[in-house]
Structure formats: C-alpha cells, structure tokens
Structure 1
Amino acid sequence: MRFARVALGLLLALVGLLVALAGAVAAFWLVGPDNTVDTGEQQLGSKGLAVVTAPDLIDRHGPTLHVTVTGNPKPVFVGVGQELDVTSYLGTSAYTQVVRLSLPPKFDTQEMKGGAAALSKPAGLDWWAAKASGSGEQSVAWPMADGRYSVVVMNADGRPGTDARVTLGVELPGLFVTFLLVLGAGLVLLIVGLLLMFMRRRRPETPEQMGPPVPQYQPMAFAQQQSASTQPTTSTPPPAYTPPSTGSTPQPGYTPPPNGPTPPTGSTPPPGYNTPPPGYTPPPQYPKGPVRRTKVIAGGIGLLLVATGCASVPAKNVKTAAASRPAVAVADGQAVVKRYNEVNNKANQARDAKLSETVEGEPTLAQTRAGFKISLKVDVAGKDKIKPFTYTKPKIGAPQFSAYPMRFVMSSTVSGQPDNQALAVWERATAGSPWVLTNCVYPAATMKVPAVDGLRVPTKADLNKLASLPQSAATNLAAYLSGGTRSPKASIFAPSPGTVGLLTNRAKEKIADAKESYISTVTDTFMASGDPLTFITSSGEALVFLSVAEQYMQRIEPGSNAYWARGSATAFSSGVRYTQTLNLDYLHQVALVIPAKGKGKLRILSIDGQLVGAGGS
C-alpha cells in the first residue's frame, strides 16, 4: 500500500513540476502582464514599394493585433487594410509579401514583381483600418475583424526601398491569468505529490497510551448462546412462546423477539440476541485514502483551466472571400467635402484649372475648365470672380462596394444660396487615388431630394422593378429636350423649374436667330453622354446622375459668312469666319428620380449646363 502511495505521489510531483515550469515560462517570458504574444523583432526589407502580409496570414478575429516598426532610416508608414483596398493601392507595383510565419518565429517571404513608380502617400488615404506614420518607431493596435486584411509597411513618401525591423504581436485577453492558473495548478499537484510521498500514517497507540480497555461487543453465534442457555441458572427463563395460528390473539405479556440474524429453523433465539451492550460506540469510518481527494482537486483545476483557456482562443475567420464595404465612413466623407470647399474656392479665385484637377473629375472638371477659359477671355482684369461658397451641413450616402471605382453621394445646402441645394457624387478610381467630385447639380430649394441614407448599388432585381432603365431614361430625356415641350417623350417626365426655363429660353433663341438675314435655319439637338450613375434609395426608387451634350447649330445662308464676335463663344472661336454653320456646344449635368413601375413619372431634379465649346464650318 505504501509503495502505491509513493508511486502516485512521485507521478503527481513530476507532473506538477512540469506544469508549474511551463506556466511560469509562458506567463513571465512568452506573454507577460500585457497578455501579448509576439514574434520578436524580425528584419524585413523590400526593394519594391512595400512589405505586405498575405491575407491568409491573419485568419482569426477577436484579439488585438500589435504591429511595431523600428530601424527604418526614412519616415515609415505602417497600416492595416482590407484586401480589396491594399490590392488596388499596390496595383502592378513590386513589393515583398509575407506568406508564412514559421517557428521559431521567422517570416517567410515572396517577391512580387512589378513597377517601381512611387505611390501616393499612404497616410493621406482614409480606408486604413489602423495606421501610423512618421520618423522613428511606429506602432498600431488593431482589434482584429472578421475578413481578409493585410499589414502594410512602407516608406511614408510612397517611394521604393523599405528596410525595417517588424514585430507582430497578438493580445489575448486573460492569457496571462490563464498561465498563472496553470502555474498554480502545477504547484498544487507538486504539493499533493510531495505529501503523498513523505507523509506517514499515524502509528497505533500502546496499551499504556490507550488507557483502560473499552469493552467491545462481539455478537455470539446463536448455537453458542443456545448451549449457554442450557446451563443451569438461578433464575428461570420465561417459557418460549409459539404464536398460535393466524387470526389468534397473543398471550398477555408477549414481546416480539429483537431483530438479529435469523436463527436456524426450528429454534427460538433468546431475548436480546445480537443486541449491542449499553454504551457501545461503533468505530469511525475513514475515507479510502488520498487518491479520491487528489482526483477531486485535479478535476476541478482541469475544468478551470479548460474553461479559461477556451475563453482566450480567438475565433476563426468566417469571411474568407473579399468582402464589400461602405465607400467611405461618414466622417471621412465630410472631411472630403470640407477639403473640396477649401481647394475649390482657391482654384476659383485664381482661375487655376490645374488646382481644380486635384479635387474634380469629369464631367464637372470639363465644366470648370470651360468656365475658367471663358472668364479669362471676357474678364481679363479678373474683376468678375466667382464668389466663395461652401457646401454646408453635408449628408453622406455611402453604398457598399467590393471593387473600385467607389462612389458616395452628398446632399447639402449651399452657403449664400438659400434658393438652391446641392446634390453631388464623389468618386475614387483606385485605392491610391484622391476623392474627386464628378457630378454636381443644384436643385431648387423647393424640389424634394431623396434621402441619401441607405443608398445602395442597384442589382438586376432592383432595376427590373423600375419604371424605366437608367440608360433608356437618358435617351428619352435627350429626345424630350430636343423636341421641347411638344415632344412625345414629354409625358414621361415631371420637369424641374430649371428644365422648363431651359426649354423656354432655347425656343426664344431659335426664333430670334432665325430672323437674322445670314441664318437660314436653327436646330437644337441633345444627346445622352456616357453611362448614367445609378443608386437605389431606401424607398426603392433610383437616383440617377447623367450627362447630356447639346449642340445649338445655326446654318448660314449660301453666299454669306459669319463668325463669333462677342460673348462666351469667343473664348473658343474668335474672328474665324465660317460659311456653312455656326455651333455652340453645351454640357449639361442632370439628376433625376426613376420611381417603381406604376408609381408616376420620372422626376427631373435639376439640369445644369455650361458652354464648353463654340465654332463652325
């Protein structure tokens, strides 16, 4: 028995020592009180534009990822971004990809071939989930989200040639406490094992130590009692009583025999048979030994460690494919609008088209360039400048996109223009491109503009529910504008005040120009330009932005000639004589709403034009 106890104690002591050592090493060397396990500093360099982790490398979510970069001689950038953004940003550039983390901690890399042209500065991009940039040590802490993400380390100026020491760490809540519990469990097992090995049982006491003996009751066998009862005694035992047959009444004074072993058949036990004597106390019952206690302690510790350990294990990523995301966060969209207000006003005051190119894209940029060109021609002194204005209280509608280009819609009021509101689209062509304003109209304040909250990119099912497809609506709108209020397509649309004004003015101009002696006929033709931008509102309607090109043409009488001598047209054609035609070219931006089938007409919110060319033949 002693050998089994010592063997069990030795086993528990060895296991406890190993568990305690493992818990101590893990708690105070691998993890520490910050609950973070890291790779230590790893030297990473790239002749390309960046060092990037493969999306499959970060395959869990929940804990916090820590990335620290040191040792780069140049200002460095470190960021975490979704795969669709990082892939678009790097494009066809050369970079180094970290494809695996092996043990002991070491990064296995793969060189991705491509160009070496500098990228746009990464710190200025708004799609990073976490980022840091500057000289010296840079670090980010990012709560790991479900999806495909990559860590990017590169020079802050976007130029090639990165050489830095990188440390990746994962912070698991409760990990330090878990390893402390492992340490404590090991110590408990060690102590229990030592007690089993060296604690001796208490020896029995000697008769002198025990004192006077306590009478111990030993029940006699019934045969012995029976033989003893045959010996003559001074008293006469009561006669044995045999119960009469069933239903009879016992004799007076009868007492049932006490409980005890069943006597042999045909005999009757004496009274008090096998009854303990007065004052007898049964001996105490001891547990079977320390084995049961050890099982209980070990089982409880095991359950505690398993429960705590499971709570610290991060969940596996579910989103394994490139997911979509909102084009922009609301705060970032408002920051884009704020920057546009500042840059646009500077460009307008300086009539600087190059500056406008940094914040505008087509077709808005084409209108801006034309406006500056006309202003420089007809207002050489620069006295008639555009009054500064801003988009105030912008509301941002950011649909989900899974690829570039991405777009968001702004709805706002306009400072100094209480009779108008603004509705605009910003676009980013790639992850490394700036946000630029591409479409912008100014509906009258009386027009009901759809809410931009909840905008989404249309699906085929969305388009099938509309009263008209966007491209068909653009074609029909061009036909309506070309034919005027009497056009067969006029019944499809509910025109805006600006639309009515445009058609009225063009009709008057055609009548007036046709009266000129050198003009034979006048035509005014509209044509849809480009593909419409369509968004589905929360009500199921379509908010559509499109462009329409207009050519206002005057045919010259045979034998006559004409030229543009004054006005805006001279900015594009001045002093050139034409013998066949004169033409004015306009570019109009339009916003309209297409309702669901059977829900009414297509509503034109606004149509805003700009002369972009003039000439003749």
Structure 2
Amino acid sequence: MRFARITLGLLLALSGLLAAIAGAVAAFWLVGPDNTITTPRRELASTGLAVVTAPSLLDRHGPTLRVSASGDKPLFIGVGQDLDVRDYLSGTAHTRLIQFDPPATFGTQELRGDTKKLTPPGELDWWVAQSAPGAQAVTWPIQDGVYDVVVMNADGTPAVGAQVTFGVEVHRLFGICLLVLGAGVVVLALGLALVLRRRPVGREIADTTEIPVITNTRIPVLVSTAPAARDEREEVENAPAYRVSPFHPDRVSPFAPLADDPTSVEDAPVEKPVPAPAVRPAPVRPGPAVPAVPAAPMFMSPAAVARAKSPVLIGAGASQRYDEPAQPTYAEPAEEARTADESPETVPLAVSPEFEKSDEAVRRTAALLASGALLLTATSCGLVPPKNTMTAADSRPAVTLADAQAVVQRYNQLNNQANKARDGKLAATIEGNPTLAQTQAGFLIGRKLDAAGKDVSKPFSYTDPEIGAPQFTSYPMRFVVSSGVSDAPGNHQLGVWQRENAGSPWLLTHSVYPPKAVELPSVDGLRTPTAADLSKLQGRPEAVAKDLAAYLTGGKSAPQSKLFTPTPSLTNMLDLRAKSKVSDTAQPYIAGVTDTFAPSGAPLTFITASGDALVFLTLTERYLQRVEPGSNAYWTSGEATAFSSMVKYTQTLHQDYLHQVAVVIPARSTGDAVQVLSIDPQLVGAGGA
C-alpha cells in the first residue's frame, strides 16, 4: 500500500503542479483581469486597398472582438458581413488573412486587382462595427453569421501598412483561470501529503512481519476437567497453565502471568484431573522453574496474535500446576487438525483494516478529484464559444431603420441645395435614373425659362418616413419609403432608394407623388418576389407595363382600360393629352398628331404583407406632330424651347416625356383590377425632323 500511495501522490502532485502553472500563466499572462486574450502587435501590410480576414476565421460567436491598429496614415477598422465586404472589395487588389495560429502567426493570401481609390469606408452604412475617426480601434460582440474584419486607409487609397493587435474578451475567463490555479494548488498539496505521509511506528512494527504457523505440527493442549469456575475466580482459572512459550521452549510466553501477579497459577486451586486412557502418553513436564526472562521481540500480525491467544494453543481454564503430577487429556487428532485448518493463519490483504482505511482514502481522493474536474468542466464548457450556424449564403435587410432615416435626412438637405443652385452634379450624388433624368431635365428647363432664378423651388422635405426594407442576398439592394411632403400637404411621396454595389451611396431612383385620397399599401413587411409570388398575381409586372402603355396610347376607349382602376392623376393626364391633340391638329401647319407610350426598363416589384405587388414602372412617351407638306415649324415658346429653339423643321415636331408610375397588382384570387397609384411625367427632350 505504501508503493501505491506514493505512486498516486506523485501523479497528483505532478498533475496539480501542471494545472497550477497553466492557470497562473493563463490568468496573469494570456488573459488578465479584463478577461481578454490579446495577440502581440503584428505588422500587417498590403500593396492593395485593404487587409481583410477570411470568413472562416470568425467561425464562432459570443465573445467580444477587440481590434486596434496604428500606422503612418489615418486608418479605418470595420466589421461587416461578408456579403457587403466581398462586394465592396470585388475586383480590387487586397490582402486576405486565411489562417491564424496562436499567439501571433498569420497566413496571408494576396489577391490581384484594381488599385483605384474606393469610396471612403467611413461613408458607408453597412458596417456592423467601425472605428471612430482617429480612434483606430473597434469593439464588437461577435454575432452568428459570416463576417469579415477590414483594415484600410481611411480615405480608401491603396498601400496599407498597420501594426495590428487582435483580442477576444470571454466573460468570466479570468475567474476560471484563477479557479484552475486554485484547483492545481489543492491537488498539488494533496499529492505531497500522500507522498510525505508516515504511518505510526507501532503499527509499522506490528504489520511488518507475520509468523506463519505450521499446520502439520501438533502442539500438546491441556484441557481442564475442572467444573466451571465461579464468576469471582473466572479470570484466574482462565489464566494459562504454563509459562513456557509454545513457540520456543526456552522463552517465556509474553502472554504468561508475571511473577509478581497475585493471581499467579501457584495460588490457583488444584483440581483433580480426569483419568486419561492408558494408551495416552503422559506429557513431558518442564524442568525446574527458572527466573522469568523477557521474551525476545517478535513481529506478529494481528492474526498471529489472535492465534497465539486462542485456546487451541494455550488452553482455556487450565488449573493444574506443572510441578504436580497430572493426567492431561488430549483433543482428538481429527478435531485438532480440523481446528488448526479452520483457524486462519493470516488475514487477507483485501479485508485488513489498514487496507480498508487506505482504500477509503483513495476513494475519497478520487471523489474529490472527480468533483473538481466536473466543476472545472461545467464552468469551462460555458466559456467555449458556439460554432456559427448561419453558414449559408448571407441574407440581410437592405438597410436598418436608423440608416434609412439618415439616408432620407441627407437627401432632404442635399436636394434642397441642388434645387437652389440647379446643380445637376450635386443631384447625381443623391439620385439615380429615372429620377435623376427628370431632375436634370427640370434644371435645364428652369435655367432656360428662368435665367434670373426667380422661380427656384422652395425648400421642402420628406416627413414622417415609413421604411420598407426587404431582405437581399446580393447587390443591388433597395428599400421603399412612404412619407409626407412638407410643401404639398395634399400628396404623399412614394420612393425607392437603391444601392448598386457595396461601395456606392444610396440613390433615390423612383419617386411618385400620389394624392392623399389614394390609399397606399403598407410598406411594412415588404419582400422581394419569388416565382410562386408572381404566379399568384393578377398579371406579371412586365405584362402590366405593356398593357398600361397600350391603355395610355389608345386613350380611355382602349381595350386595356378595363384592366385598370382609373385614378385622378391617370384621368387628368388622359384628358390633357386629348385636348392637346385637338388644339394642335387645328393649327394650319400641323397635319396630324400621334401620342405613343412604351415601357422602359424592368419593373421594380415588391410583395406586400397582404400578398399584393407594389410595382414601380417607367414609361416613355413621344408626342409627335406631323408638319403639313410645304410648311415648316419650330418651337418658339414653352418648355420644349429648352431643348430646341428657333430651329425650323419641315417634317415633324416631337416632345419626349419620361413617366414614373406606381401600381398595385392584386392577387388573382381577388379578381380586382390593377390600381394606378400615381403617374408623374417630365419633359426630357424636344426637337423635330
């Protein structure tokens, strides 16, 4: 047992020492009281436009990521979804971190491409976390999904050089490290206690050697024939009847009475022995009494001591003295042999008290270690960040509510500046076609007809915007805004903002102004259409666009008119065109007039929460006047003179319009007609032939 105890103690001491060292190193060198594991500062450089992590490096979520950088130029640090980062850096030269081996070894991959300046990253709103100007550090709780960390120059120029450190903050990590340190110290102390523990001297002597008993040797046994002793003399009568040790004739038995014992056998009464059979030989009596000498030390186990005290060896209740004649009786040989066989010579190790105590100590130690391991496992498992589950293609709303409101607010500010200065270039930073084409045509007409700038548009803004942001998996992305108009209380504004790619700004591409008398569909819960959604509609958006163009071309009596629900704006435009045809045909130099509409571009379709489709269309219109043979004509006044002034035409005159239309296509199951919410024209050209 001593060998097993020392072996177990050494193992525990070694394990505890290793755990204590690991806990101390982790707590005070790797982690620290801020619960953050930080890599050493590392030089990361790229001749391209950015240094970006591969999506596989951020494959777990939960902890807090901390990134800081410093360099010769102002730097930008941002975290974005791979969907946005990938599109933003598409086709550009940059460096990608594809491997990380703690504590500070990175594997990189150089991607070739264009090195033209990108849109400054600070102007983009799709970053989920970004550094403040001049801070060059970012803190971000890692989310489930595919994300990238980007380090680049703040102005979007190439040649990035930065000293970067990465850190991961794990909640309660420092406390767990201290717990490991404490557990290691406890296990180390327990192991040392087992190794250095010494057993009592007396027990070691008693347990050192066991004297085996030879079972084949017969030892004479004196059996008393006296009647049972009384209670007051029972102890004396049970005293051994001889002084000689049964193990050696010249040694005094350590269990014999002492010489000065008042209850010595000399004082014991002599009982008459029972006559023994004649065939039994008389026992050999010991010689003259000799002074008692201390017995030599004997190492006896508890089993040997018990056997030496048993009546089989010493006899129970013998009352005869060895100096008087007696006729001892003998136990039967078979009975003696059976008794000797049944009497245990040694106690088995597995049932000895020392073994049981040691085994209990081992069990307690094992239980303590198991409890500690279970505690450490339970507390540590909660620290392991879970693997990302959103590993499929990214999908996200086109914009957050706050970012969309910021886009509308920015538009209000810049649009008023552009309108006041009739600045088409400034308008191009906030608008896209077809809205931009209408705006720039309006600026051109305004400069022609109002050169003094007396009829400049008054400032206005879109009020109380409601945002509808569908989910997208790729660019371009779009969101819809339904709002009021500050200078037109009788109208709504319904517009579409679009971002062509991750590096471009949000631009207002479609904008119509339906009257407030027209009920608009809710933009809450808008989504991009699927094939199943389109199959349930009253008509496909492309077919509806063609039918609407035919309806406007043919007028109120066109066959397609029954497919649409008339609205004030549509009715007013049809009435205006009919009057223009009559008045123009009455001119002597005009032989006839035609008015033709046609779809332009692909419709933008969104599915509402009710299952209907909100569709934005673009139509072109050519209003053509044929000149009478032998006559000539030219534009002398009006908006058309902004595009063609005092130029004589002998065949035709034409005016070109661009219309933005918003319609609602109901589900086929309703049987309703298509509702035209608004149609807003703008003259964009004029001339002749």
TM range (shorter): 0.7 to 0.9
Shift in Å, 1:462:
0.4
The 5-angstrom pairing of residues 267-416 of structure 1 reads 288-416=359-487
Shift in Å, 1:103:
4.0
Equivalents in 2 of 1:420, 1:11: separation in Å? 84
Corresponding residue of 1:73: 72
- TM-score, with length taken from structure 1: 0.86
Structure 2 unaligned spans of 5+: 204-221, 233-334, 336-355
Equivalents in 1 of 2:486, 2:646: separation in Å? 40
Corresponding residue of 1:184: 182
Equivalents in 1 of 2:102, 2:173: separation in Å? 20
Corresponding residue of 1:211: none
Equivalents in 1 of 2:365, 2:555: separation in Å? 97
Corresponding residue of 2:142: 144
2:621 aligned counterpart, secondary structure: strand
Structure 1 residues 393 and 231, CA gap change in structure 2 (3 angstroms): closer
Structure 1 residues 439 and 295, CA gap change in structure 2 (3 angstroms): same
Equivalents in 2 of 1:227, 1:46: separation in Å? 113
Equivalents in 2 of 1:543, 1:173: separation in Å? 47
Equivalents in 2 of 1:568, 1:543: separation in Å? 32
Does structure 2 retain, via aligned residues, the 8 Å contact 1:133–1:156?
A: no
Corresponding residue of 2:11: 11
Q: Partner letter of residue 142 of structure 1?
A: W
The 5-angstrom pairing of residues 528-543 of structure 1 reads 528-543=599-614
Corresponding residue of 2:688: 616
Structure 1 residues 589 and 228, CA gap change in structure 2 (3 angstroms): farther
Deviation string 1:445-483 (CA, Å, 9 cap, x unpaired) is 111111111111100000001000000000000001111
Equivalents in 1 of 2:230, 2:179: separation in Å? 76
Equivalents in 2 of 1:166, 1:233: separation in Å? 97
Equivalents in 2 of 1:227, 1:590: separation in Å? 134
Corresponding residue of 1:98: 97
Does structure 2 retain, via aligned residues, the 8 Å contact 1:60–1:144?
A: yes
Structure 1 unaligned spans of 5+: 206-223, 235-263, 265-284
Corresponding residue of 1:134: 133
Q: Partner letter of residue 392 of structure 1?
A: T
Q: Partner letter of residue 534 of structure 1?
A: T
Equivalents in 2 of 1:226, 1:452: separation in Å? 116
Corresponding residue of 1:55: 55
Corresponding residue of 1:248: none
Shift in Å, 1:319:
2.1
- TM-score, with length taken from structure 2: 0.77
Equivalents in 2 of 1:233, 1:385: separation in Å? 136
RMSD of aligned residue pairs (Cα, Å): 2.3
The 5-angstrom pairing of residues 166-205 of structure 1 reads 166-202=164-200
Deviation string 1:218-241 (CA, Å, 9 cap, x unpaired) is xxxxxx99988789999xxxxxxx
Structure 1 residues 228 and 589, CA gap change in structure 2 (3 angstroms): farther
Does structure 1 retain, via aligned residues, the 8 Å contact 2:469–2:479?
A: yes
1:567 aligns with 2:656: no
Structure 1 residues 17 and 568, CA gap change in structure 2 (3 angstroms): same
Shift in Å, 1:172:
1.5
Q: Mean Cα displacement is larger for which, 1-10 or 94-103?
A: 1-10
Q: Partner letter of residue 13 of structure 2?
A: A
Does structure 1 retain, via aligned residues, the 8 Å contact 2:64–2:141?
A: yes
Corresponding residue of 2:111: 112
**Structure with greater Cα Rg:** 2
Equivalents in 1 of 2:477, 2:597: separation in Å? 29
Equivalents in 1 of 2:389, 2:678: separation in Å? 45
Q: Partner letter of residue 63 of structure 2?
A: P
Equivalents in 2 of 1:5, 1:386: separation in Å? 96
1:456 aligns with 2:454: no
Does structure 1 retain, via aligned residues, the 8 Å contact 2:424–2:443?
A: yes
Q: Which of 563, 571, 579 is equivalent to 1:500?
A: 571
Shift in Å, 1:57:
1.4
Deviation string 1:94-115 (CA, Å, 9 cap, x unpaired) is 1111111124521111111111
Equivalents in 1 of 2:358, 2:15: separation in Å? 25
Q: Partner letter of residue 120 of structure 2?
A: K
Equivalents in 2 of 1:337, 1:82: separation in Å? 23
Q: Partner letter of residue 38 of structure 1?
A: T
Does structure 1 retain, via aligned residues, the 8 Å contact 2:553–2:597?
A: yes
Does structure 1 retain, via aligned residues, the 8 Å contact 2:39–2:102?
A: no
Shift in Å, 1:147:
1.6
Structure 1 residues 195 and 233, CA gap change in structure 2 (3 angstroms): closer
Equivalents in 2 of 1:528, 1:153: separation in Å? 45
1:605 aligns with 2:651: no
- Answer 1 or 2: which has greater strand percent: 1
Equivalents in 2 of 1:578, 1:409: separation in Å? 44
Shift in Å, 1:38:
2.1
Deviation string 1:404-442 (CA, Å, 9 cap, x unpaired) is 110000000110211000000000011000100000000
2:382 aligned counterpart, secondary structure: helix
Equivalents in 1 of 2:223, 2:36: separation in Å? 81
